[in-house]
Amino acid sequence: MNFPLFIAKRIYSDKGDRRKVSRPAIRIATIGVAIGLAVMIITVSVVLGFKHAIREKVAGFGSHIQVYNVQATGYPICINDSTLAAYEAVEGVRHAERFAMTQGILKTDEDFLGVMLKGIGQEYDTTFISENLVEGSLPQFSDKKTKYPLVISKSIAKKLRVKTGDKLFAYFIGQDDVRARRFTICGIYQTNMKRFDDQICLTDLYVTQRLNGWDSLQCSGAELLVNDFEQLKPTNMNVLRELKGQTDRDGNTSVSYSITEVYPQVFSWLELLDVNVWIILGLMVSLAGFTMISGLLIIILERTQMIGILKALGAGNGSIISTFMYYGIMITGRGMLWGNVLGIGLVLLQQYTGIITLDAQTYYVSEAPMELNPLLILLINLQTIMSCAVVLLLPCILILFIHPARSMHYE
**Mean pLDDT for all residues in the chain:** 86
pLDDT tens column, 52-72: 888 888 888 888 999 998 887
pTM exceeds 0.85: no
On the question of pLDDT at 1 being above 80, the answer is no
Whole-number pLDDT of residue 394? 79
Does the pLDDT at position 17 exceed 60?
no
pLDDT digits (tens, 9 = 90+) for 222-276: 999 999 998 999 999 999 998 887 888 888 899 999 999 988 888 888 888 888 8
Give the confidence band of 410 by pLDDT, cuts at 50, 70, 90: very low
User: What pLDDT sits at residue 3?
Assistant: 72
Q: Kindly report, residue by residue over 206-223, the tens digit of the pLDDT.
A: 999 999 989 989 999 999
Asked if residue 152 lies in contact with residue 163, where contact means CB atoms within 8 angstroms, the answer is no
Q: Which of 26-30, 105-109, 323-327 has the highest mean pLDDT?
A: 105-109
Q: Check pLDDT > 70 for residue 78.
A: yes
Is the model's pLDDT at 324 over the cut of 60? yes
